[in-house]
Chain A
Amino acid sequence: MSATTTPSRPGKPILEFERAVVRFAGDSGDGMQVTGSQFTTTSALIGNDVATFPDFPAEIRAPAGTLPGVSGFQIQFGSVDVHTPGDAPDVLVAMNPAALKANLRDLQDGATIVANKNAFNPAGLKKAGYEQNPLEDGSLAKFRVIEVPLSDLTREALKDSPLDPASVDRCKNFFALGIMFWLYDRPLDPTYTWIRAKFKGKQVLIDANELALRQGYYFAETAEIFTAHYAIKPASHLPPGEYRQISGNEAIALGLVTAARKAGIDLFYGSYPITPASDVLHALSRYKAHGVKTFQAEDEIAAVGAAIGASFAGALGVTGTSGPGVALKAEAIGLAVMTELPLVVVNVQRAGPSTGMPTKTEQADLLQAMFGRNGECPVGIVAPATPAECFTLTVEAARLALTHMVPVFILSDGYLANGAEPWRLPDPDAIAPITPRFVTSSDGPFRPYAHDPETLSRPWALPGTPGLEHRLGGLEKWDGTGNISYDPDNHHHMVALRAAKIERMQVPPAEVMGPAEGDLLVLGWGGTFGALRTAVEQVQREDGAAVSLCHLRYLNPFPPDLGEVLGRFKRVLVPELNLGQLWTMVRARYAVPAVKYSKVKGRPFQVAEVVARLREELAQARAEVARG
């Protein structure tokens, strides 16, 4: 390929780094998510380990140039293990003054800012609330500021394009991407491929975007703005295999299809659009060739009702939503518990209460999943720790639901849902089959509530099976026959049985990263894993401290040995993006003096803040020992 191949090696020196963090920030109309994704894909394709964090406003198009309209995309990429999108960007690309202002507080001294100089005009500054131009007033002295007239340069690069001025201006994100590709020594071909697929049949747009990208690259190479560029070698720790990038929501969708296939049944997904869970519905609606039925319901209640109806009829019934939707589904989930039907409930958590902050992450729906229904109404709960793990744990959630005939929650969150990481494609044959307790005949009258002594599952007799006609409902059942019963002892027995079903679930033992006993155990769950792991490893490495991480994937039931694990540490710290929900559960269950560590800002933990907190805890623990 002649004109479109990656330009040849420039003459400036290349400095090698283990990892780097880049954040693209601009108007929500500036294409920052696309720009970030392209940078990520390219980095993954050349073998880096990556983790991303898109951060976008709830408004689809807030007024251009204003702070509420700023959309960001952060990526950390490295030749070493990367578990988080990084605390602070090494390079911030700011497409306008608002993007600079909104992101400035996250930068550390010495960070590089690539700013679109053209947007720092009086109108742009005013919209962002700047009285003076920060590029000129010396307020950015702590940073390395690179002013690039992005709009002018893009216009100049595309002066021969037949595109109208507005469309030309929209290509400036690729000009900026070209600059970043040069800076981090990445190839342009993957993005060319993407552009050609995206704008298929619109040659003018293909040409313009490719040209903007290439000219950005050349500009960085030749202009006297960077003295060197950086290389980050392919990661060597990734196990061999075929990889793709995957977000949490995509992984859940794939996990659901896989689970249904492994159980030999159809997948039915009932859902009502809600941020940040809608992408699961979007993904599944494209998998029709795999027999997936999706149903966009009239509301959250209808979505879960249809899913339970589908389960009754013999499908894997699944409903997906976020916290407000779970609140609406509560009564129906209770019916699934009572009728002992399998159901998977996906909750991609977001900041609450009420509408809260729809695009911001939080993990404050754990107690809702545990207790948010009338009556004694237990369900299984799993929580993936990384985007890729959303796949494995979704399969496991479905396995538990189908094996025990109960609803099982998957607690994902906005951070996992939209964040992405490399995923090694699993061998489908290596995933264990799922075997629900189907029945097709009965000696004597059919007993729909005859429970299996081991799993406590009741038999799943599908409509269409002659001789097994039976009626289910939300009224209390007589164990065995399933007839309506108001008998006091039977009710007590059935309440206990439904609780025991959850306790009977086979879940793996708690995994401890670090010493099996010691001064401090960090007990986490869900999407905070990357930050907690990185922080714990740093403290282990730098301080030689006896600190370990136990990150729970199973929250109901807990791993069978969790009580013992907690008992082996002098101190237990429970970091959560809530006011202490897992903390409440472990204290109630194991009566351990665990300490809570809450952050409820709609943002994930930063590694540095966790490290600081761990050091405080260790100091406290030492002080307590010294006091005796």
Chain B
Amino acid sequence: MAESTLPKKLTRKDFVSDQEVRWCPGCGDYAILAAIQKVMPELGVPREKTVFVSGIGCSSRFPYYMNTYGFHTIHGRAPTFATGIKCARPDLTVWLVTGDGDGLSIGGNHLLHLLRRNVDIKVLLFNNRIYGLTKGQYSPTSEQGKKTKSTPMGSIERPLNPLRFAIASEATFVARTYDTDVKHMGQVFEAAARHKGIAFIEILQNCVIFNDGAFDPWINKKAKEETLAFLEHGKPITFGAGGRKGIRLRGFAPEVVTWGEGEAPPADLVVHDAHDASSAPAFLLADLEAPMVMGVLRQVEAPTYDAGLVGQIERARERAGGKADLAALFREGAETWTV
């Protein structure tokens, strides 16, 4: 048997597979892949203990490029395979790669239940607000009125906010990041990896071919300072030039407050509490469009499904007192007679 890869310090290269990467040049997926490969050695998990699972779509080619165990499954169903893997083998670290179509359209039901159960799996949802692999139809996150190949007069559907979906599905870790900030992606991925339980990360990802610039209003270099607010637990939510803009609540409605250079920030700024038992603040943050928040919106503790499953088996074994052989099983709960 080959040596475990744990003792020697791994590098990014150890996680690069021998397969040629085949996304379109300029696709945001490249940066996400690089960020993951960079963060992997920091996590202290041996390569062979890591499994990447995906569904179908551009993003779902991801496992082929990771030199770990990997499973490229069927459209929308990746959460089900990932659940089976984690339940069968809780010792494995399972990452799930999906997209806005794969995860929120065809696989919406599975994603909901994966989040609700709190299976210890890390979910990366690449949101490019379009169907890429099938060449440019609108997705569940496309904005209303969007003209695509299948909506020549504009989409009449209302889009879904992935973060609100995740929070409503009782996910215990909910975060957002974006494909042009490798450092921020790294921080969020690492925080997710260290969370015990389900972690859901929406990654704003640019599809250069079918939806180029979909997130430009927020994340282009010039506007960014004014349009993105980076969350830090325990700190007031601030953004803008010199960090002199903040959020405060009027009733349940958030509003932006600005203060002058050298002035003290208002005392009633919203302070981010990712661990709030109530999910209401996370909903408010997920809703914000100006600014849009980046980082960990919510992180709470809850028992995981996989640990619960193993725990019940251990308890049942204790109760049985080792009388779990097949001969005993055949008689279990039945009256027997001898001929």
Same assembly: yes
Which A residues are CB-close (under 8 A) to B194?
none
Chain A residue nearest to B321 (CB atoms) is: A289
B4 near A466: Cβ-Cβ < 8 Å? yes
Interface flags for A282-313 (1: CB within 8 Å of B; 0: not) read: 00001111111101011101111111111111
**A536 to B81 Cα, complex, angstroms:** 47
Residues from chain B with a CB closer than 8 A to the CB of A297 are 80, 113
Contacts of B278 in A (CB 8 A): none
* Residues from 548 to 588 in A contacting B, C-beta threshold 8 Å: none
Q: Does A26 contact B (CB under 8 A)?
A: no
A441 in the interface (beta carbon within 8 A): yes
Residue A401 lies at the interface, judged by CB distance under 8 Å to chain B: no
Among A157-165, A198-206, A471-479, which stretch is in contact with chain B?
A471-479
Given contact pairs A464-B91, A469-B67, A240 touches B84 in the complex (Cβ within 8 A): no
On whether the beta carbons of B327 and A428 are closer than 8 Å, the reply is yes
**Given contacts A305-B81, A475-B72, A441 and B2 within 8 Å (CB-CB):** yes
Partner of B84, one of A312, A441, A469: A312
Residues in chain A near residue B183, CB distance under 8 A: none
**Does B320 lie at the interface of the complex (its beta carbon under 8 Å from any beta carbon of A)?**
yes
What chain A residues lie within 8 Å of B135 (beta carbons)?
none
Contact between A466 and B1 (Cβ–Cβ < 8 Å)?
yes
Residue of B nearest to A295 (CB): B87
For chain B, which range describes its interface: under 10, 10 to 19, 20 to 34, or 35 or more residues? 35 or more
B336 touches A290 (CB 8 A): no
Segment with Cβ contacts to A, from B280-288, B296-304, B311-319: B311-319
**A44-B337, A246-B334, A313-B89 known; A335 and B73 CB under 8 Å?**
yes
- Contact: A314 with B64, CB < 8 Å? no
Q: Which residues of A contact B73 (CB under 8 A)?
A: 305, 308, 335, 473-474
Which of chain A's residues have a CB closer than 8 A to the CB of B327? Answer: 425, 427-428
Within 8 A of B (CB), among A423-480: 424-428, 440-441, 462-475
Among A472-521, those with CB < 8 Å from B are: 472-475, 483-484
Q: Are A243 and B336 in touch, CB under 8 angstroms?
A: yes
A190 within 8 A of B: yes
B72 touches A474 (CB 8 A): yes
Which one of A190, A242, A291, A313 has the greatest number of beta carbons of chain B within 10 Å? A313
**In the complex, which residue of chain A has the Cβ closest to the Cβ of B53?**
A309
The yes or no answer to A233 lying at the interface (CB within 8 A) is no
Residues of A within 8 A of B72 (CB): 471-475
A242-B336, A298-B109, A332-B77 given; A312·B67 CB < 8 A? no
| Most chain A beta carbons < 10 A, residue from B112, B324, B325, B326 | B326
Tell me the nearest residue of chain A to B56, going by C-beta.
A474
Cβ of A266 under 8 Å from chain B: yes
B47 touches A469 (CB 8 A): yes
User: Do A257 and B84 form a contact, CB below 8 Å, given A441-B2, A472-B71?
Assistant: no
Chain A: CB-nearest residue to B338: A242
- Enumerate B45-86 residues with CB–CB distance to A below 8 Å: 46-49, 51, 53, 63-64, 66-74, 77, 79-86
A416 an interface residue at 8 Å Cβ cutoff? no
- What CA separation (Å) do A268 and B87 show in the bound complex? 9
* Residue A146 lies at the interface, judged by CB distance under 8 Å to chain B: no
Given contact pairs A288-B312, A463-B69, A302 touches B83 in the complex (Cβ within 8 A)? yes
Q: Is A244 a contact of B330 with CB atoms below 8 Å? A: yes
A268 (CB) vs chain B CBs: closest residue:
B88
Q: How far is the CB of B309 from chain A (nearest CB, A)?
A: 6
**Chain B: which residue is nearest A431 at the CB level?**
B326
| A244 in contact with B80 (CB, 8 Å) | no
The residues of A that contact B319 with a CB separation of less than 8 Å are 289
Smallest CB separation, A188 vs chain B (Å): 15
Interfacial chain A residues near B74, Cβ < 8 Å: 305, 331-332, 335, 474
Q: Is A84 an interface residue (CB 8 A)?
A: no
A361 → B minimal CB distance (Å): 24
List the B residue with the shortest CB-CB distance to A426.
B330
| Option from B1, B80, B91, B92 in Cβ contact (under 8 Å) with A301 | B80
Q: In the complex, what residues of B have CB within 8 A of residue A331's CB?
A: 74, 77
Q: A41-B335, A473-B64 are in contact. Are A306 and B81 (CB under 8 A)?
A: yes
B316 touches A305 (CB 8 A): no
- Given known A440-B1, A469-B67, contact A463–B51 (CB-CB < 8 A): yes
Contacts of B85 in A (CB 8 A): 309-310, 312-313, 463
Question: In the docked arrangement, what's the CA distance between A484 and B19, Å?
Answer: 10
Chain A residues in 8 Å Cβ range of B241: none
Complex contacts, A295 vs chain B, CB 8 Å? 83-84, 87, 309
Quick check: is B289 within 8 A (CB to CB) of the other chain?
no
User: Given contacts A244-B335, A312-B71, A469-B47, are A270 and B84 in contact (CB under 8 A)?
Assistant: yes
Residues of A within 8 A of B337 (CB): 44-45, 47, 242-244
* In contact, A467 and B48 (Cβ under 8 angstroms): yes
A239 to B3, CA, bound (A): 54
With A287-B329, A290-B329, A310-B85 as contacts: A469 and B68 at CB distance below 8 Å: yes
Chain B hits for A243, CB < 8 A: 336-339
Q: How many Å lie between the Cα of A41 and that of B312 in the bound state?
A: 32
Does B110 reach chain A (CB closer than 8 Å)? yes
Q: Is the CB of B4 within 8 A of A309?
A: no
Within 8 A of B (CB), among A312-332: 312-315, 317, 331-332
Q: Is the CB of A425 within 8 A of B331?
A: yes
The answer to whether the Cβ of A33 comes within 8 Å of any Cβ in the partner chain is: no
A254 within 8 A of B: yes
- Interface assignment of A261: CB less than 8 Å from any CB of chain B: yes
Query: Quick check: B84 and A308 within 8 Å, CB to CB?
Result: yes
Which residues from chain A contact B87 at a C-beta distance below 8 Å?
A: 268, 293, 295, 306, 309-310
**Cβ of B5 under 8 Å from chain A:** yes
**Interface membership of A245, Cβ < 8 A:** yes
B89 A464 Cβ-Cβ under 8 A? yes
Nearest residue (CB) in B for A262 is: B326
Whether A241 sits at the interface, judged by CB under 8 Å, is yes
Residues of B with C-beta under 8 A to A463? 48-49, 51, 69, 85, 89, 92
**A153 at interface by CB-CB < 8 Å:** no
Q: Which of B68, B324, B339 has the most CB of A within 10 A?
A: B339
**Centre residue among A238, A290, A299, A484 by max chain B CB count within 10 A:** A290
Min Cβ gap B324→A in Å is 5
Q: How far is the CA of A297 from the CA of B116 in the complex (A)?
A: 12
A535 CA to B336 CA, complexed, in Å: 30
Is the C-beta of A71 less than 8 angstroms from some C-beta in chain B? no
A258 touches B (CB below 8 Å): yes
- Name B84's closest neighbour in chain A (CB-CB): A309
Q: Is B17 an interface residue (CB 8 A)?
A: yes
* Residue contact B84 to A305, C-beta cutoff 8 Å: yes
Check A309 against B82 for contact (C-beta < 8 Å).
Answer: yes
Judge whether B48 and A425 touch: CB under 8 Å: no
A72 to B339, CA, bound (A): 29
Q: How far is the CB of B311 from chain A (nearest CB, A)?
A: 10
Interface pair B317/A289, CB less than 8 Å apart: yes
**Distance of A139 Cα from B24 Cα, bound (Å):** 82
Is the CB–CB distance between A302 and B48 below 8 Å? no
Q: Measuring CB to CB, which residues of chain B are less than 8 angstroms from any residue of chain A?
A: 1-5, 17, 19, 46-49, 51, 53, 63-64, 66-74, 77, 79-89, 91-92, 109-110, 112-113, 309, 312-313, 315-317, 319-320, 323-327, 329-339
For the complex of A and B, 5 pairs with smallest distance between CB atoms: A309-B84, A305-B80, A467-B2, A473-B72, A306-B84
Chain A residues in the interface with B (C-beta under 8 A): 41, 44-45, 47, 190, 193, 234, 238-246, 254, 257-258, 261, 266, 268, 270, 286-293, 295, 297-299, 301-315, 317, 331-332, 335, 339, 424-428, 440-441, 462-475, 483-484
24 A/B residue pairs, CB under 8 Å, sorted by A: A243-B339, A244-B330, A244-B337, A287-B332, A297-B113, A298-B110, A299-B109, A302-B77, A305-B74, A305-B80, A308-B84, A309-B85, A313-B84, A314-B88, A317-B84, A466-B3, A466-B4, A466-B46, A466-B48, A468-B2, A471-B17, A471-B19, A471-B66, A473-B71
14 further contact pairs, Cβ within 8 A, besides A332-B74, A463-B85? A239-B339, A261-B326, A292-B313, A298-B109, A303-B80, A309-B88, A312-B81, A317-B84, A331-B74, A332-B77, A463-B92, A467-B3, A469-B69, A475-B72
